Structure 1
Amino acid sequence: MKALIDESRSPLPLSQTAYDQQLKVLHVCETAKGGIATYLRIMRASTSERYEHYVVLPEHHAGELQGTLKTTTFNSKKRSILRLGRMLVTARQVAITEKPDILFFHSTFSLTAMLFFCLFLPRRPTIYCPHGWAAMQFAPGSMRRKLIAFAEHHLSKVADAVVNISAYEQRYCEANYPKVNGILIENAVEPCDEKPLPSIVHTSPTQLNILFVGRLDRQKGFDLLFRAFCEATKARTDLHLHVVGDFVLGKSQFTAQVAQSSDVTMHGWKTPREVRSFLDACDILAVPSRWEGFGLVVAESFRSGTPVLASDRCALPDLVSPDETGWVVPFEQVNWTDAIVRLEKHTLRKMRDRCLETYENRFHASRFGHEFDCLFQKMIECKCSCPTS
């Protein structure tokens, strides 16, 4: 695959014409809930001030951006053909009005708009980010996976560059979509400038606090963690599990089992600032996910200097350095029980400096912004050097 960012990641020179002008990036989003909104906020905050970011997104998702970007919305709450049509019409109107220098399409359903732009509107440098390849959610060899992979491959190759958010997804792209110009720009998290909130977690030399953050659903693997934790408490009495998040499909028998455990505290959903206070106070973060495109909470944990116990699925093993920033555990209950039983507070404390160093060197927003500056600059420079652009 052709590299748009060189391995040294040094700034790429621009022509004087490109340097002198303000450049516009138009982001087209069929959804901006959760991770995509965070992605856009970090990009706006960490890239050069020369870039003006415009976003087309559903009206009911606009609040996710917290007023940090220039937005144009379309009215559609349900995913449907009508919603895609409204996204396309709105994006076309903004493109005609603002005349962006770069087009940036986010997530699978925006591929339809990207194809339309490339076929029927003046050609501009185009970037696509899947935020997790859709085909990876389905069983290998299944018909649904094959059909979605076929569509992703042939639509994604229209883009000049496809940004993968993790090394795992980059490898998947290289192996399965050979005609796609995939590049790796790992996700990142912003530094915390605000003073941390007082923690409600009881800390003591005699208690080891384990933290889980996220939805209590099958993907996030909380069922496995809870069973493994309960088994571990039979071997030692100093363990406590703090759960930040909640069930997404209502109450169940499993909910009652969690509530009955005196060694588990359910804290419900918390603000990002409150989550940071939990990450600061707990001894280790548990991430037992069955699948993850990246695992942003791992980077957030390292920002707090907190080691991570992660499953061996998808992108997670690439994020954790065993015996340095945590451990990678095979996705079996017996392995997780054994890993929890073996945890030692003094060992975890020794890992904190390495976790902080990993955040600064690998997951800091400044690195993310610099790599996108390089990508944007290279694409504009290629456009300026083309006599037909």
Structure 2
Amino acid sequence: MKRVIHLLTTDKYSGAENVAIQIVNHINMRYTDVECYYVSPKGDIENILVSYNCKYSLIDRFSYFQLRKLNTRLEPDIIHAHDFIASVMATICFPGKKIISHLHNNAPWIQKKGIFSFIYYCASARITKILTVSEAIENEYVYAKKLKDKFECIGNPIDTMSILDKAKEYSIQQQFDLIFLGRLTKAKNPDLLRRVFIKAIEKKSSIKIAIVGDGEYYQEFENWIEQNRLGTNIKMYGFQENPYPILNNSKVLVLPSKWEGFGLVSIEALTLGKPVVCSNAGGLKKIVTKDCGYVIENENVDQYVSEILELVNDENYYERKHNAALDRAKDLNNIDQYIEQVYREYEIEG
């Protein structure tokens, strides 16, 4: 039996962690010749792993010595590393092992020659395959042409039935016109998000907005809401292990990201029939169509607000995009094919 460890660098839970958990669980459930473990530093993630019944082995901290001990303890055959740092460290700490690098976003370092892009290029000599969640990552990586044979775009796992089931796990009373769902980080463009919210409130004083997620800008958002007396319009939920009931009680998802790898939350919204108003970052421009949402090519606050208010105020317009969102999600559902594709990667002889 082959043993695969899914290596992540933090104890937080977000998009990449979600994908890793899905892969571990589905591979372990479907195949008898591969055993997967989720590996990351100890912390909040353990509660998530337990709730998902995910096989794991946590380390005290993400360091060379901890990873070398892990290598001795688990004796993995394949390292499936889920970000830049994990990929580079895997090439150092697991000599002789097959390494798969899985890039979940097209961070700025990818796009220009510099220390990070060069280190990753050097580390790629030890990497068997580079999996990406969107073609944008390969297209934007400055050294991509030198590594062309190693790249493969596999997207993200979409399990629409699981999302629909989780949306029913609990109920909330409040209804929201608009929701932001994700970590409040630089990648999500928090400044533009605030400007969109302010203008939407100016145009429609009764609008209700939910913010679901934590991140380094969380406290700044809380302070901004308090200072501008926006508490009657905006409710912050913080991190939610299952955010889907809140998403289900919202009408429109807004996602003005500076960069994205894939944009999984957009499909989660579409699955629940929620139109998506977003930037054209990463995979979003291939997920969201004019029928089920609106992709904005630049940071134009007026365009965001205009589309949001039309969806909120015009029931017929909303209904058309709501129905198109449901249809689009059905087209994107791919969990069976995705897991089979990942499993085949584990069969590649390095």
Decide whether aligned partners of structure 1 residues 370 and 259 sit closer, same or farther in structure 2, where only a CA change above 3 A counts: farther
Give yes or no for the alignment of 1:44 onto 2:24: yes
Q: Give the structure 2 partner of residue 354 of structure 1.
A: 324
Query: 1:294 corresponds to which residue?
Result: 262
1:212 partner SS:
strand
Cα distance, 1:287 vs. partner? 0.7
Say which SS state the counterpart of residue 375 (structure 1) adopts. helix
Structure 1: distance between partners of 2:341 and 2:307? 36
Relative to structure 1, the CA distance from residue 243 to residue 137 in structure 2 (aligned partners, 3 Å threshold; closer, same or farther) is same
Aligned to 1:325: 292
Aligned length: 334
- The answer to whether 1:54 aligns with 2:37 is yes
Structure 1 unmatched ranges of 5 or more: 1-21, 77-82, 204-208, 384-389
Given the superposition, is the C-alpha separation of residues 125 and 283 from structure 1 closer, same or farther in structure 2, using an over 3 Å criterion?
same
**What is the Cα deviation at residue 43 of structure 1?**
0.6
Distance 1:225 1:40 in 2: 28
Deviates more, 1:339-348 or 1:180-189: 339-348
Provide the TM-score with structure 1 as the length reference.
0.75
**Displacement of 1:363:** 4.3
Identity of aligned residues (%): 19
The 3-state SS of whatever aligns with 2:299 is: coil
For 2:82, the equivalent position in structure 1 comes to 106
Q: Which segments of 5 or more consecutive residues in structure 2 lack a partner in the other structure?
A: none
2:58 is aligned with 1:73: yes
- Whether 2:152 is the aligned partner of 1:183: answer yes
**Does the CA-based 8 Å contact 1:42-1:189 persist in structure 2?**
no
Amino acid at match of 1:43: I
Question: Which digits, 9 at most, give the CA deviation of each residue in 1:12-32, with x for residues without a partner?
Answer: xxxxxxxxxx43223333335
CA distance in structure 1 between the aligned counterparts of 2:195 and 2:99, rounded to whole angstroms: 46
Report the Cα offset of residue 270 of structure 1. Answer: 5.0
Q: What is the RMSD of the two structures over their aligned residues, measured on CA atoms?
A: 3.0
Return the structure number with greater relative CO, CA threshold 8 A, min gap 6.
1
* Aligned position for 1:228: 196
Which position in structure 1 is the counterpart of 2:63? Answer: 84
Q: Is the 8 A contact 1:41 1:68 kept in 2?
A: no
Say whether the 8 Å CA contact 1:284–1:348 is kept in structure 2: no
The counterpart of 1:338, out of the listed 284, 299, 306, is 306
Compute the displacement of 1:252 (Å). Answer: 6.9
How far has the Cα of 1:253 moved from its partner? 5.5
1:112: how far off? Answer: 3.9
* In structure 2, C-alpha distance between the alignment counterparts of 1:321 and 1:280, rounded to whole Å: 20
What is the distance in 2 between the residues matched to 1:90 and 1:176? 33
Higher alpha-carbon Rg: 1
Residue 280 (str. 1) matches residue 256 (str. 2): no
Structure 1 letter corresponding to 2:12: K
Question: Is 2:345 aligned against 1:375?
Answer: yes
Determine the C-alpha separation between the residues in 2 that align with 1:261 and 1:27: 40
1:240 positional shift: 2.8
Amino acid at match of 2:332: R
CA contact (8 A) 1:43 1:369 kept: yes
Cα shift readout 1:170-222 (whole Å, capped 9, x = no counterpart): 3224863532501011123442335342232337xxxxx11122344543234
3-state SS of 2:259 partner: coil
Question: Separation in 1 of the partners of 2:151 and 2:252?
Answer: 34
